């Protein structure tokens, strides 16, 4: 009945959790395929599965997932047959893909003890997965496959209600090298020196000078990244300021960008950013 077992990259909770195995499940947990809410580890009796003590953030599994949340590191999710969801295998284990830890918090469980909770959102890595939409589409279109209509209707309604309302204002992506740039600058913004304190350390964002993906299409590498606080990241992405090839700050910010001796910024990309925001 242990809810999940966290395997740190290096065997501890200091660098985020590499993978979790879902098995069993608490009453308030749910698994919508692309979105999972799950309860942390610890505090339960191994033989009865009952919660008999508080869960803690110092538990390596919980600490690791909280670090994954703060750093934006993906977690590999594996579903076991005993995990209560329609995405679980009939026996053994299946790989569910990479998930982002988009929220973590604590609350008092039905047992009266403190539990640590996590919300995970699918972010890729499993080409064979079926989305809830695909499953539901099949069930609605093909009555021969519809084994339990009422339950599925209920699931569908539940899913609609559970989905957060509103449209996306900003998506901040985290990448392999984004983490490296943050460590190089010890999470201090290259514009204002701010390092955002969190419960598990410091927070900064890796800002791509020339954006990833279409149509800008640059690679993720150190020479295309800046370490910025969220305020200066928003301003940089929106072109409120730019950085000249001599590292002078232009626009709504004055002064000079702080640049570490090991950080060889691609000046063509600074020029590209200036060009796309009208600074040339």
Q: How far apart are CA 206 and CA 21, in angstroms?
A: 29
Among 144, 147, 150, 171, binds its own copies (CB under 8 A): 171
Among 52, 53, 81, 121, binds its own copies (CB under 8 A): 121
Asked if residue 153 binds its own copies (CB under 8 A), the reply is no
Asked if residue 24 binds its own copies (CB under 8 A), the reply is no
- Chain residues 63-92 in contact with its own copies, contact rule CB under 8 A: 69-74
Asked if residue 278 binds its own copies (CB under 8 A), the reply is yes
Neighbours of 7 (CB within 10 A): 18
Asked if residue 58 binds its own copies (CB under 8 A), the reply is no
Asked if residue 220 binds its own copies (CB under 8 A), the reply is yes
- The answer for residues whose C-beta is within 8 angstroms of residue 106's C-beta and 6 or more apart is 55, 57, 114, 115, 116, 117
Q: How far apart are CA 152 and CA 158, in angstroms?
A: 10
3-state class of 28 per DSSP?
Answer: coil
Neighbours of 158 (CB within 10 A): 12
Between 27 and 90, CB nearer to its own copies: 27
Q: How far apart are CA 111 and CA 99, in angstroms?
A: 28
Asked if residue 34 binds its own copies (CB under 8 A), the reply is no
Among 233, 242, 257, 269, binds its own copies (CB under 8 A): 233
**Alpha carbon distances (Å) from 266 to 190, 225, 226, 240:** 16, 9, 11, 20
Candidate segments 3-11, 42-50, 97-105, 139-147, binder of its own copies by CB under 8 A:
97-105
- The answer for residues whose C-beta is within 8 angstroms of residue 256's C-beta and 6 or more apart is 247, 248, 249
Interface with its own copies (CB under 8 A): 28, 30, 35, 37, 69-74, 98, 100, 102-103, 105-107, 117, 119, 121, 123-124, 134, 137, 161-176, 178, 194, 196-199, 203, 205, 211-215, 217, 220, 229-231, 233-235, 237-240, 252, 275-278
């Amino acid at each position: 009945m242990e809810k999940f077992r966290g395997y740190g990259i290096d065997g501890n909770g200091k660098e985020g959790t590499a993978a979790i195995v879902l098995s069993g499940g608490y009453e308030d947990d749910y698994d919508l395929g692309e979105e999972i809410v799950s309860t942390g580890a610890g505090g339960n009796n191994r033989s009865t599965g009952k919660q008999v003590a508080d869960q803690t953030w110092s538990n390596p599994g919980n600490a690791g997932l909280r670090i994954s949340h703060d750093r934006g590191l993906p977690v590999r999710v594996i579903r076991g047959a005993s995990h209560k969801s329609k995405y679980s295998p009939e026996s053994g284990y299946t790989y569910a893909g990479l998930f982002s830890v988009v929220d973590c918090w604590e609350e008092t469980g039905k047992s009266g003890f403190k539990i640590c909770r996590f919300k995970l959102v699918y972010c890729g890595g499993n080409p064979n997965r079926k989305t809830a939409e695909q499953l539901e589409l099949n069930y609605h279109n093909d009555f021969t496959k519809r084994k339990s209509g009422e339950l599925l209707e209920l699931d569908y309604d539940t899913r609609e209600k559970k989905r957060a309302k509103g449209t996306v204002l900003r998506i901040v992506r985290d990448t392999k090298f984004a983490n490296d740039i943050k460590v190089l600058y010890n999470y201090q913004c290259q514009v204002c020196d701010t390092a955002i304190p969190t419960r598990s350390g410091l927070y900064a964002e890796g800002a791509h000078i020339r954006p990833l993906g279409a149509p800008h299409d640059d690679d993720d590498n150190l020479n295309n990244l800046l370490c910025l606080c969220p305020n200066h990241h928003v301003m940089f992405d929106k072109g409120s300021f730019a950085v000249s090839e001599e590292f002078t700050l232009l626009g709504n910010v004055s002064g000079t960008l702080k640049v570490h001796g090991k950080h060889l910024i691609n000046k063509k990309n600074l020029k590209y950013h200036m060009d796309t925001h009208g600074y040339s």
